[in-house]
């Protein structure tokens, strides 16, 4: 029997991090000790109170049945109360909050609710690969917005042709930003609101790194801007905030009709999020201050070790105010993929080539600060031995 993939699958490249995993496995089979700075997966454990709440909740038979599609009202209430404490947002937990099986799932499903075949979606480049892929799955056309150093890695909305803006249904933005680690000030978000209102575009703000910020900086919520709640929603994740990447729990907040549209897709695709995990998430949001100071201190120290070491070697890198990523300019004469290959093959260091995040990522690599300081210092020593 001849198996043929759907045409939409032919449009989709292999998921970037799945490909990196394959290469890592090949190197490990050769007996090479890898320092993995590739994927943004925190190495720090989930805080104990969250784990204890999960244990207790998992033993309760009421949590062994199907959960509610929208998420437990207790979890959604905890979300709304956290958003009020953290951002000053007053949200109705019944209509303006939706639980997600990780924010990635919500980002992947939102175009299915609002994008028709041939509609345009405005996608940052470089950017989280799921923005582009979810657009293609919905039959939409990605229009890429370049994020460049000279603009602070912010898209220049005035550069978007009027004919494109008039056809656009969604705009994805993401600050603090993955992969560049750039931040956005309120003035940028205000421009986004005005642009979205002018062209009737739904704004999808990916705020997964809102609680990973340094030197006292506190990233704002897009929804805190005047008029933002008329045009958009915001995706949040407990993954980076509480070291819960494997738990798969997040939430969307904002415009009730947009939340409802996303919810309608989800009710037809998944059966909700395990209630014991929602109880654990409720514990986290109610009882742990964010950002978690001990986590931030660790990432700050790691950032400083790596930035200092990379600059001493002669690599160009900004000192990020947020996220646990470093966006590093590759040396002259190398592409992103070539330099990442040199680091892997000659140093046993896993980094992500910038072009994997889109064409505008060419010329950079991304490193994640998700190993301890001892290993980071070792990575710097290995880099010093590589000739490039």
**For residues 102 and 277, what is the distance between their CA atoms, to the nearest angstrom?**
11
**For residues 266 and 50, what is the distance between their CA atoms, to the nearest angstrom?**
26
Percent of the residues in the chain that have a pLDDT greater than 70, as a whole number: 98
- The residue whose two tokens read 């994997």 is 356
Mean pLDDT, range 65-90, rounded to an integer: 95
**For residues 308 and 291, what is the distance between their CA atoms, to the nearest angstrom?**
24
**For residues 59 and 50, what is the distance between their CA atoms, to the nearest angstrom?**
15
Whether pTM > 0.85 for this model: the answer is yes
Per-residue pLDDT tens over the stretch 296-326: 999 999 999 999 999 999 999 999 999 999 9
- pLDDT, residue 210, reads 98
Q: Per-residue pLDDT for 27 more than 80? A: no
**For residues 224 and 240, what is the distance between their CA atoms, to the nearest angstrom?**
21
Number of Cβ atoms within 10 Å of the Cβ of 56: 14
Closest to 49 measured CA to CA, from 242, 210, 299, 251: 242
- pLDDT, residue 25, reads 82
Q: Per-residue pLDDT for 9 more than 90? A: no
From the number of C-beta atoms within 10 Å of its C-beta (0-12, 13-18, 19+), residue 152 rates as middle
Domains, the chain, in order of start with CATH, read 7-45+292-385 (3.90.1150.10), 48-287 (3.40.640.10)
Q: Are 329 and 364 in contact (CB under 8 A)?
A: yes
**For residues 24 and 18, what is the distance between their CA atoms, to the nearest angstrom?**
10
Q: Which residues contact 257 (CB under 8 A, 6 or more apart)?
A: none
Query: 206 - beta bridge partners?
Result: 235
> What 8-state DSSP symbol labels residue 25?
H
Query: 99 - beta bridge partners?
Result: 251
Q: Which residues contact 213 (CB under 8 A, 6 or more apart)?
A: 176, 183, 219, 291, 296, 321, 322
- pLDDT, residue 92, reads 98
Q: Are 127 and 172 in contact (CB under 8 A)?
A: yes
**For residues 308 and 318, what is the distance between their CA atoms, to the nearest angstrom?**
10
Query: 204 - beta bridge partners?
Result: 172, 233
Q: Per-residue pLDDT for 110 more than 70? A: yes
Confidence class for position 16, pLDDT limits 50, 70, 90 = low
CA 142 remoteness from chain centre: 18
Task: Cis check for the bond before 176: say yes or no (omega within 30 of 0).
Answer: yes
């Amino acid at each position: 029997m001849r198996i043929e993939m759907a045409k939409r699958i032919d449009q989709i490249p292999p998921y970037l991090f799945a490909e990196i995993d394959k290469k890592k496995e090949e190197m490990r089979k050769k007996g090479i000790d890898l320092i993995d700075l590739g994927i943004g997966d925190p190495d720090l454990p989930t805080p104990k109170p969250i784990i204890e709440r999960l244990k207790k909740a998992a033993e309760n038979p009421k949590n062994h049945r199907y959960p509610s599609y929208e998420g437990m009202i207790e979890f959604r209430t905890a979300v709304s109360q956290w958003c009020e404490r953290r951002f000053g947002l007053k949200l109705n937990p019944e209509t303006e909050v939706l639980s997600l099986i990780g924010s990635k799932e919500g980002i992947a499903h939102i175009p299915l609710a609002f994008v028709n075949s041939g509609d345009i979606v405005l996608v940052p480049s470089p950017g989280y690969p799921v923005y582009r892929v979810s657009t293609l799955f919905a039959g939409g056309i990605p229009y890429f917005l370049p994020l460049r150093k000279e603009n602070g890695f912010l898209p220049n909305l005035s550069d978007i042709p009027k004919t494109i803006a008039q056809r656009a249904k969604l705009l994805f933005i993401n600050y603090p930003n993955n992969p560049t680690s750039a931040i956005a000030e309120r003035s940028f978000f205000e421009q986004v609101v005005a642009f979205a209102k002018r062209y009737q575009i739904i704004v999808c703000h990916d705020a997964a790194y809102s609680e990973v910020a340094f030197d006292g900086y506190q990233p704002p919520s897009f929804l805190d801007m005047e008029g933002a709640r008329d045009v958009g929603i915001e995706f949040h994740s407990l993954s980076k905030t509480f070291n819960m990447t494997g738990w798969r729990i997040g939430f969307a907040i904002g415009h009730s009709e947009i939340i409802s549209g996303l919810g309608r897709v989800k009710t037809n695709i998944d059966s909700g999020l395990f209630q014991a995990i929602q109880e654990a998430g409720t514990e986290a949001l109610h009882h742990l201050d964010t950002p978690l100071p001990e986590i931030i201190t660790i990432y700050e120290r790691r950032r400083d070790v790596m930035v200092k070491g990379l600059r001493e070697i002669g690599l160009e890198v900004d000192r990020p105010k947020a996220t646990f990523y470093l966006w590093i300019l590759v040396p002259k004469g190398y592409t992103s993929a070539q330099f990442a290959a040199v680091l892997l093959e000659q140093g046993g260091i896993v980094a992500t080539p910038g072009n994997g995040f889109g064409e505008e990522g060419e010329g950079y690599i991304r490193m994640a600060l998700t190993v301890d300081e001892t290993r980071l210092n070792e990575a710097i020593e290995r880099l010093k031995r590589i000739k490039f």
